[in-house]
């Protein structure tokens, strides 16, 4: 009798695994779609190109398109922890452009006027939460009331949730715009680095909903209400890159 029960359980388990395997594609695609919460571009005071895409620069490209389409007259580039590596290399005699400078370089090559670019040199860190806090402070400093956040499809829901929590109490309007015209959601699990990113973003979203913001040692150490943006013009950065500052 016991052997019969074990055999039945094993058969049910095998059937369940086979069903899950057969249905994996729609299940995985449905999971990925829970990460997406983008809206159509609206009119705003400023466009913020979220950091973390300094390989394909899809966010910078989308930001430039939105600016040229007249959705805003200014475009903002935050600081990020990756930028600190360039400073370390410079101290060793190696002049390598920071990721932030490369974003500015891409914007300039796409025809964005350097004086339309706002570069934030405030202390980086804090992940998406820290970056959005810097954006909110920049908006307060510049007197902006609305922003378009440009990011990749898998980052839209989490960044939107954090932004609403930060911006709404200050009366700031925010819209999240997907950088990709055609997001590769179908079959994402077949692409190595995209698969890693989607799983990572899914975990971050679950942690965000369950635990809220999680602090790390490299987060900005100053109290959130005291950190001030160190804003600069894109013309200065473009000149350092050797990119023409003329529109």
Give 140-152 pLDDT, tens digit per residue: 999 999 999 999 9
Residue 70 is classified by DSSP as: T
Residue 31 has pLDDT above 80, yes or no: yes
Residue whose structure tokens are 């990925």: 32
Mean pLDDT of the chain: 86
Q: Which residues of 208-230 are buried (b: 16+ CB within 10 A; e: fewer)?
A: beeeeeeeeeebbeeeeeebebe
Q: Residue 100 above 90 pLDDT?
A: yes
Q: What is the mean pLDDT of residues 53-57?
A: 93
Ranking 80-84, 96-100, 164-168, 215-219 by mean pLDDT, the lowest is 215-219
Angle at 118 between CA 114 and CA 119, to 5 degrees: 105
Residue ranges per structural domain of the chain: 38-184+217-239
Q: Region 173-184: what's the mean pLDDT?
A: 90
Which position has the higher pLDDT, 68 or 6? Answer: 68
At a CB cut-off of 8 Å and minimum separation 6, what does 99 contact? 51, 54, 80, 82, 83, 86
Helix, strand, coil percentages, rounded to 5, for the chain: 55, 10, 35
How much is the average pLDDT of 196-216? 86
pLDDT at 18: 46
Q: What percent of the chain has pLDDT over 90?
A: 66
Model confidence band, residue 184 (pLDDT cutoffs 50, 70, 90) = confident
Which pLDDT score, from 0 to 100, does residue 224 have?
46
Helices (H), the chain: 2-22, 24-33, 58-68, 83-91, 99-109, 127-142, 156-167, 192-211, 234-241
Residue partners of 220: CB distance under 8 A and separation at least 6: 122, 123, 124, 125, 126, 130, 227
Question: pLDDT at residue 226 above 50?
Answer: no
Q: Looking at the predicted structure, is the pLDDT value of residue 193 above 50?
A: yes
pLDDT at 182: 80
For domain 38-184+217-239, the CATH class is alpha beta
Q: b vs e for 171-200, b when ≥16 Cβ sit within 10 Å of the residue's Cβ?
A: ebebbbbbbbeebebeebbeeeebeebbee
Please give the pLDDT value at position 121. 92
Q: What is the pLDDT of residue 10?
A: 55
pLDDT value of position 15: 45
The least confident of 27-31, 66-70, 115-119 is: 27-31
Using a pLDDT cut of 70, give the percent of the chain over it: 81
């Amino acid at each position: 009798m016991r052997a019969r029960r074990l055999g039945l359980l094993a058969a049910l388990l095998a059937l369940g695994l086979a069903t899950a395997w057969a249905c994996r594609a729609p299940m995985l695609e449905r999971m990925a779609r829970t990460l997406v919460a983008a809206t159509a571009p609206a009119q705003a005071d400023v466009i913020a190109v979220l950091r973390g895409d300094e390989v394909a620069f899809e966010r910078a490209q989308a930001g430039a398109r939105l600016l040229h389409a007249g959705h805003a007259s200014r475009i903002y580039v935050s600081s990020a922890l990756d930028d600190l590596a360039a400073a370390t290399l410079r101290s060793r005699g190696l002049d390598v452009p920071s990721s932030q400078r490369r974003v500015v370089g891409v914007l300039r090559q796409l025809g964005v006027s350097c004086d339309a670019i706002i570069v934030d040199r405030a202390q980086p860190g804090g992940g998406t939460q820290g970056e959005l806090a810097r954006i909110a402070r920049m908006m307060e400093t510049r007197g902006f009331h609305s922003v378009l956040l440009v990011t990749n499809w898998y980052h839209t829901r989490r960044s939107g949730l954090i932004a609403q929590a930060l911006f709404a109490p200050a009366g700031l309007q925010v819209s999240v715009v997907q950088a990709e015209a055609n997001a590769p959601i179908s079959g994402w699990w077949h692409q190595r680095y995209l698969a890693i990113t989607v799983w990572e973003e899914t975990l971050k979203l679950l942690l965000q909903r369950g635990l809220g913001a999680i602090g790390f040692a490299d987060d900005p150490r100053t109290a959130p209400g005291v950190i001030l943006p160190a804003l600069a013009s894109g013309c200065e950065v473009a000149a350092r890159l050797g990119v023409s500052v003329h529109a």
